[in-house]
Amino acid sequence: MSAVSETIAPAKPMPQRRTNLYFVWCGVIGDPVARVAAGIIFLLVLMAILAPWIAPFPPNEADPALRLMPPGTEGHLLGLDNQGRDILSRLIHGSRLTLISGILPVVLGAAISIPLGLIGAWYPRLGEVIMRVMDVLFAFPMALLAIMLAALMGPGLVNMMIALVITLVPYNTRVVYAAARQERELAYVEASRAMATSDLKILFVEMLPNVVAASVVYSCTIVGAVVITAAGLSFLGLGVQPPIAEWGIMTSEGRSFVFVAPHIAAIPGLAITLLVMAFNLLGDSLRDSLDPKTRLTLVKHRPGPGGDGGS
């Protein structure tokens, strides 16, 4: 759904091994744009955690006499929605589910993808099967697969999360698989093998930390897209249900009042854009930090003759 899902740079072998995460850290600290993005995300997370204490009103408290009043109405900085609820308060409370529905599926998706990609890279035949299954999943546009799964399972937050996780697995698995295959050819793995270290130990003790960096970076670049997809599912009525505050459903509800009170849809949509932009900036910066040449490598999201995914 967005740029970031397209341009994935798998971790390249680098001279100093085992310092990928260090590079990532330096990259963010050294990049002023990334610092701003990380700052925005930090503030939003803080806002989500402190929501009940900083929001001026409870999210579902309504003053019916003030329905649809615009931003700047006394006591209601961002105005009120169609129920007469304070939009600022709903925005603050809504940040919780919006963040969770963007981040949690990515984390869970990575948790499934990392072992899948590692094992696939280690056992080539099994890997071939896994990657062919992933190819099939790539035949569905990301938003569409999530919509189909959520629609068939029925609306609700949990089902939406499950749908997103399933949708994300193929993307992340491909990244891990590509990184792990490169890693497998390196000297230290050969050495471990020669010392008859068990496969599992090589995979999950020695290779894992290096492969994780690629997955983490990729995950960061995709959070923004997932936030949009999750909000989109809620927009379609497949995600959180009323009256729960969440930015996607808030935008969706505001659509019915777009002429008389455009602020109801405008404000949560703007908030989503800001959040996604912060994640995208941070993701770009992380990716660049792993790829000193700032070269964007194209990943083909589909099978091909001899195409093995990644790079």
Partner 1 sequence: MSILSFAGTRLVYAIPVLVGVTVIVFMALQLVPGDIALTLLGRMATQDQLVALRQELGLDRPLIVQYLTWLAGLLKGDIGNSISQQLPVTKILIPKIGNSLILMAGSLFFVLVFGFILSVLSAPRFRQLTDKLVVGLTLVLASLPVFWLGIVLLYFFGFKWKLFPISGMYNMVNPGGLGQLLHHMVLPAIATAASSIAVVTRVTRSRMIDVLGQPYILAARARGLSRRKIVLRHAVRNTLPTFANIGGLQIGYLFGSVIFTEIIFNWPGIGLLLFDAILQRDVPVIQGCVLIVALVFVLGNLISDVIVHALDPKQR
Partner 2 sequence: MEMRSTAHRMTSRRRAGFAAAAATALALVLGGTTAPVFAADNTIVFAVESDFSRLDPHASRTWNTFKVLRHVFETFVEEDLTKGPDVEPELVPALAESWDISEDGKSYTFHLRKDVKFHDGTPWNAEAAKFNLDRMTNKDFEFHQKLSPGLMGWMWQDLDNYEVVDEYTFRINLKQPNAEFLRRLTSGGSGAPRMISPTAVKTYGNDEIEQHPVGTGPFKFVERVVGEKLVIARNDDYWDPARRPKADQIVLRGIAEVATRELALVGGEVDIIGTPSPDSLDFLKAQGIEIVSGNSPMFYLMWINMKDPHFKDVRVRKAMCMAINRDDLAKYQRKGLATPAYGVLSPHGPGYDPAYKDCEYDPEGAKKLLAEAGYPDGFETRMDWTFGAGADVNTKGDAEWLQRDFEKVGIRASIEMFDNNTFWDMMSNGMREGTGLTSASWGDSTFAWLDQVVPTTALPPNCCNSGYYDNPKIDQLLAEARGAASKEAMDAKLHEVRDVIADDMAFTSYYTASAVYAVRPDVKGFVLSPRHWFDLTTISKQ
Is 228 one of the binding residues for partner 1 (CB under 8 A)?
yes
Nearer to partner 1, 198 or 256 (CB): 256
Residue 267 tokens read as 């404000």
73 is a contact residue toward partner 2 (CB under 8 A): no
Choosing from 15, 32, 196, 259, the residue that interacts with partner 2 (CB under 8 A) is 259
Choices 90-98, 177-185, 196-204, 255-263; region in contact with partner 1 by CB under 8 A: 255-263
Q: Does residue 52 belong to the site contacting partner 2 (CB under 8 A)?
A: no
Find the binder of partner 1 among 58, 83, 303, 308 (CB under 8 A).
303
In the bound state with partner 2, the residue whose beta carbon lies nearer, of 264 and 278, is 264
**289 touches partner 1 (CB under 8 A):** no
- What is the 3-class SS of the chain, one letter each residue? CCHHHCECCCCCCCCCCCCHHHHHHHHHHHCHHHHHHHHHHHHHHHHHHCHHHHCCCCCCCECHHHCCCCCCECCECCCECCCCEEHHHHHHHHHHHHHHHHHHHHHHHHHHHHHHHHHHHHCHHHHHHHHHHHHHHHCCCHHHHHHHHHHHHCCCHHHHHHHHHHHHHHHHHHHHHHHHHHHHCCHHHHHHHHCCCCHHHHHHHHHHHHHHHHHHHHHHHHHHHHHHHHHHHHHCCCCCCCCCCCHHHHHHHHHCCCCCCCHHHHHHHHHHHHHHHHHHHHHHHHHHHHCCCCCCCECCCCCCCCCCCCC
Shortest Cβ distance from residue 234 to partner 1 (Å)?
A: 10
Instruction: Looking at residues 80 to 99 of the shown chain, list those that interact with partner 2 (rule: CB under 8 A).
Output: 82-84
Cβ contact 40:274 at 8 Å: yes
Q: Residue 260's binding partner, choosing from partner 1, partner 2, none, with beta-carbon cut-off 5 to 8 A by kind? A: partner 2
Is the bond preceding residue 64 a cis peptide, omega within 30 degrees?
Answer: no
- Site membership for partner 1, residue 2 (CB under 8 A): yes
Q: Among 42-50, 80-88, 143-151, 201-209, which window interacts with partner 1 (CB under 8 A)?
A: 143-151
Q: Does 260 bind partner 1 (CB under 8 A)?
A: no
Shortest spacing between CB 258 and partner 2, in angstroms: 6
The piece of 18-26, 28-36, 238-246, 277-285 that touches partner 2 (CB under 8 A) is 238-246
CB 242, min distance to partner 2, A: 5
Report the alpha-carbon distance of residue 148 to residue 164 in Å, rounded: 11
Q: Does 280 bind partner 1 (CB under 8 A)?
A: yes
Q: Any contact of residue 129 with partner 1 (CB under 8 A)?
A: no
237 binds partner 2 (CB under 8 A): yes
For partner 1, the binding residues (CB under 8 A) are: 1-4, 6-7, 132-133, 135-137, 139-145, 147-149, 151-154, 224, 228, 231-232, 235-238, 248, 251-252, 254-255, 258-259, 262, 265-266, 269-270, 272-274, 276-277, 280-281, 294-296, 298, 300-305
